[in-house]
């Protein structure tokens, strides 16, 4: 066996091929520079090269690929939002996820297991009815279920812990799913690289150059580059990077934490989320229970994790599933999230010509990795913002045309 493995490994017939080439030298000019090598930046690069034939693209990442929120998130994919504009956008995102393994020839481990959000108050039940109406109208699979329906979907739930926070019902979203986050980033990176996109890791952008109101290039830790278009896709750093171009974004940055337990026997085959407990759980394919909740209550640019949050998440989880008591927490981590006032992203044009924004993804942007990249590539390639992105324009804040998704984002992300 060992000998056969060695023979296979050393044979010229099976050469080692790297999916992503090593960081090349920077060229003096590109058609498009994408700042941020997270899922969103890589998805846009892929769509530019694959569908618009724009291949002189450089993705500049100050750290390593997907080292920001892309590989820190808890991978909830869903389209059960509140506004028709939000639902239409995230629905397209979900459809792209369902087809992504084939599209990228890379197994992203898409698992459409459904998401159940629990209500512990009458007010939450009323909000669920509104979301179910909106979602059904927009063609998503969504319905309100009573306590019996909740029990049928997840028999292990503690329906009434001493009457303190009885479960009154739930919002069942059969389309809800998860996927492997680093596989998504890797898949986009590998296919983008195959189409000729250059991926420059450890390359930080320190300045954005503008002449006569139009973007002309960027200054990086490895030198200056000229370009025709720049996309800002910098996750938690979006506010600061936009400021380099004099663009003020209505964004505040908060840490968001999550944790994972030791592997346990598979029992949870859906995503579970509780609005009142600010806790959600999903069991990974390794058996680990991934647990997340709300943002930290203060603005901060730090990815440290806290005992407070661990206690809060453990408490919520044990309320819902008492048998988790005694299960060990293996890891806890945080990302920094760029939050907008209305819990919707900012996508499209900026006040600077050819400087494009893919910002304000806060705690909910993983599910939009495919669709945001696809639609922003369309903006860059055609110079026109497609209708599906109009509601997410930066200038909505000037017109007081906010797209309030706070109630549908909450702890579920």
Distances (CA, A) of 154 to 11, 151, 267, 300: 50, 5, 9, 37
Q: Is residue 311 a contact partner of residue 318, using CB atoms and an 8 Å limit?
A: no
Distances (CA, A) of 397 to 37, 90, 246: 27, 21, 17
Would you count residue 61 as binding ligand FAD (CB under 6 A)? Answer: yes
Task: Report the residue from 30, 33, 54, 76 that binds ligand FAD according to the rule CB under 6 A.
Answer: 76
Q: What is the CA radius of gyration of the chain?
A: 22
Give the position of tokens 């790297």: 18
Q: What is the largest CA-CA distance in the chain?
A: 70
CA atoms within 13 A on the CB side of 93: 33
Binding pattern for the stretch 218-257 against ligand FAD, x by CB under 6 A and - elsewhere: ---------------xxxxx---x--------------xx
Q: How far is the CB of 364 from ligand FAD (least distance, A)?
A: 5
| Residue whose CB is less far from ligand FAD, 53 or 63 | 63
- Among the listed ranges 132-140, 150-158, 169-177, 357-365, the one in contact with ligand FAD (CB under 6 A) is 357-365
Binders of ligand FAD among 135-194, rule CB under 6 A? none
Would you count residue 293 as binding ligand FAD (CB under 6 A)? Answer: no
* Token representation of residue 246: 């004099």
Q: How far is the CB of 121 from ligand FAD (least distance, A)?
A: 23
Task: Report the residue from 258, 259, 393, 403 that binds ligand FAD according to the rule CB under 6 A.
Answer: 258
* Token representation of residue 31: 């058609």
| Residue whose CB is less far from ligand FAD, 121 or 243 | 243
- Among the listed ranges 13-21, 63-71, 80-88, 160-168, the one in contact with ligand FAD (CB under 6 A) is 63-71
* Token representation of residue 195: 């189409």
Would you count residue 373 as binding ligand FAD (CB under 6 A)? Answer: no
Handedness of CA 238, 239, 243, 248 (dihedral sign): positive
Task: Report the residue from 154, 165, 190, 205 that binds ligand FAD according to the rule CB under 6 A.
Answer: 205
Would you count residue 279 as binding ligand FAD (CB under 6 A)? Answer: no
Distance of CA 196 to the CA centre of its chain: 25
Would you count residue 41 as binding ligand FAD (CB under 6 A)? Answer: yes
Would you count residue 89 as binding ligand FAD (CB under 6 A)? Answer: no
How many whole angstroms separate alpha carbon 264 and alpha carbon 162?
A: 26
Would you count residue 204 as binding ligand FAD (CB under 6 A)? Answer: yes
Give the position of tokens 């709300």: 294
* Token representation of residue 157: 């739930």
Residues that bind ligand FAD (CB under 6 A): 35-41, 60-63, 67-70, 72-76, 204-205, 233-237, 241, 256-258, 292, 335, 337, 361, 363-367, 413
């Amino acid at each position: 066996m060992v000998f056969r493995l060695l023979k296979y490994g050393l044979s010229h017939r099976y050469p080692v091929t790297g999916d992503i080439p090593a960081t090349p030298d920077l060229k003096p000019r590109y058609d498009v520079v994408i700042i941020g090598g997270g899922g969103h930046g890589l998805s846009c690069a892929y769509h530019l090269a694959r569908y618009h034939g724009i291949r002189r693209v450089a993705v500049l990442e100050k750290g390593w690929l997907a080292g920001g929120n892309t590989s820190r998130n808890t991978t909830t994919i869903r389209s059960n939002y509140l506004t028709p504009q939000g639902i239409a956008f995230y629905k397209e995102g979900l459809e792209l996820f369902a087809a992504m393994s084939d599209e990228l020839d890379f197994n992203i481990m898409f698992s459409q297991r459904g998401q159940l959000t629990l209500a512990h108050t009458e007010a939450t039940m009323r909000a669920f009815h509104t979301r179910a109406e909106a979602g059904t109208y927009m063609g998503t699979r969504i319905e309100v279920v009573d306590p019996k329906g909740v029990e049928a979907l997840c028999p292990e739930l503690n329906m009434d812990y001493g009457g303190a926070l009885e479960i009154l019902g739930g919002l069942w979203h059969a389309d809800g799913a998860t996927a492997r986050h680093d596989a998504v980033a890797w898949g986009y990176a590998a296919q983008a690289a195959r189409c000729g996109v250059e991926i420059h890791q450890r390359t930080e952008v320190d300045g954005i150059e503008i002449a006569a109101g139009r973007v002309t290039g960027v200054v990086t830790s490895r030198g200056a580059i000229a370009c025709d278009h720049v996309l800002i896709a910098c996750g938690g750093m979006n506010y600061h990077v936009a400021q380099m171009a004099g663009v003020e974004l209505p964004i505040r940055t908060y840490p968001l934490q999550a944790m994972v337990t030791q592997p346990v026997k598979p029992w949870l085959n859906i995503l579970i989320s509780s609005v009142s407990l600010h806790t959600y759980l999903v069991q990974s394919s390794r058996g680990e229970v991934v647990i997340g909740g709300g943002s930290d209550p203060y603005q901060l640019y730090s990815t440290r994790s806290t005992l407070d949050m661990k206690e809060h998440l453990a408490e919520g989880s044990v309320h819902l599933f008492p048998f988790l008591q005694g299960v060990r927490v293996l890891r806890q981590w945080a990302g920094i999230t760029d939050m907008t006032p209305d819990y919707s992203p900012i996508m499209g044009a900026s006040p600077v010509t050819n400087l494009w924004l893919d910002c304000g993804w806060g705690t909910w942007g993983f599910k939009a990795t495919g669709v945001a990249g696809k639609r922003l590539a369309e903006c860059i390639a055609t110079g026109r913002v497609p209708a599906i992105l109009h509601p997410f324009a930066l200038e909505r804040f000037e017109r007081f045309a906010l797209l309030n998704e706070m109630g549908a984002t909450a702890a579920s992300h």
